[in-house]
Amino acid sequence: MARTSRELLTLQDHLSVENNMAQFMSACSELCSDPQLKTMCQNMARDHESHVQMLSQHLRTTLQ
């Protein structure tokens, strides 16, 4: 299905936000001394990285 330019820009914005959040949560996990908090931040970083992969794949298939 073809996407409008506005939809593509929105997807790109979401991709950027997810990428920033993945980096932020990864950095937070490095600063944590509490093991449970560190694990939670690492899990959140992985979740955001997964979203980055999903959005990237969606954009690639949409632009083909």
User: What is the pLDDT tens value at each position of the chain, 64 positions in all?
Assistant: 688 999 999 999 999 999 999 999 999 999 999 999 999 999 999 999 999 999 999 999 888 7
- Helices and strands counted in the chain (H then E): 2, 0
Q: Give the per-residue pLDDT at 24.
A: 99
Count Cβ atoms within 10 A of the Cβ of residue 33 and give its class: 0-12 exposed, 13-18 middle, 19 or more buried.
Answer: exposed
pLDDT at 2 (0 to 100): 80
Domain that holds residue 27: 5-63
Q: What is the pLDDT of residue 62?
A: 85
Total tally of structural domains belonging to the chain: 1
The whole-number pLDDT of residue 3 equals 84
